[in-house]
Structure 1
């Protein structure tokens, strides 16, 4: 039987997520930020000169893949249930 809260005590709000969810979310944000950092650069100081470095592997394939992995980590963090007990 649940204990009834006293009417004189203020209601304590509960967070939607637990500590483990926030830790995984922070990891996901760090991975997304790392992907955007890898995407940066490759431009030219002179707008009349084309720099082909903007189309290298790191900016076209690797960085977007890392950003998508970070978004996947974020979805996992939202769906994670830290209260679920492991079966033994």
Structure 2
């Protein structure tokens, strides 16, 4: 391998390392900034659900239950 190619590979590897660290730093900061917003949102959802007497609140976009007030899980019984 020529000296030029070795230098290119070395620079490419250094770039990839810097890019990886930058992506990790951005992800960490994003989580840090989003955590209080998510907490506030979940508290608001819980409060409204309790106020309205709801048993479940679904997030249709994620296909998940984001609030449930307890109760009996009939999943197993409904599968038979």
TM, length-normalised to structure 1: 0.32
TM, length-normalised to structure 2: 0.34
Larger Rg: 2
Q: Which has the higher contact order (CA 8 A, sep 6+)?
A: 1
Q: Which structure carries more strand by proportion?
A: 2
Q: Which structure carries more helix by proportion?
A: 2
